[in-house]
Amino acid sequence: MCEELMVRHASPTLAGLKTGSLFSCPFAGEQAMQDCVRDCNRRLTAKGLRLLPLRWQGGRALLYLYRPARLAKDLQHPEARALLASRGYPCGEPTHCVGRLMRRLREEQAFPHEIGLFLSYPPEDVQGFIRSPACGYKCVGCWKVYGDVCAARRTFGVYRRCTARYEARHARGTPLEKLAVAG
């Protein structure tokens, strides 16, 4: 089940088109979740990918599949750094930023909107959503767009086509590690 959900919700990350993806997955228990995460990391680490459980609640895990090297680059963007610093993130080290995100998800009821920076959303769109989540956006796709609509729509199309191709390949038996592109 975990593998199918990963392909359905994280294909652009597997393909190297996106820094990270989030998806929720049911498990029989925390041990089953830990076993799945360990197995996926064993199969995907050589491709530059890492799977982390960000939160465990009610028999479901919120999983984050990401490319650490690409996240480090994304978080160097000046607007991303400023936004994260204003929210108490240690901007010098991406793994510490991921740790801070995990703590926020586990300790707070509200979903931290800066999470978009960990998912390849443009910083201007993340900032726009934080300022005005209910209005002011120009279009909606994988995220609410406050900035460049044309670029966002192109990206949404690329992600949709990638996901369709990956789901078809996975359904034909292509294993997860063969779907993952080295990054």
Give the model confidence (pLDDT) of 4-60 as tens digits.
999 999 999 999 999 999 999 999 999 999 999 999 999 999 999 999 999 998 899
Q: Is 172 exposed, middle or buried (0-12, 13-18, 19+ CB in 10 A)?
A: exposed
| Span 67-96, pLDDT tens digits | 999 999 999 999 999 999 999 999 878 999
pTM, two decimals, is 0.94
- Residue 68 CA to residue 45 CA, distance in Å, equals 10
- Residue 69 CA to residue 72 CA, distance in Å, equals 5
Domain span at residue 29 reads 2-179
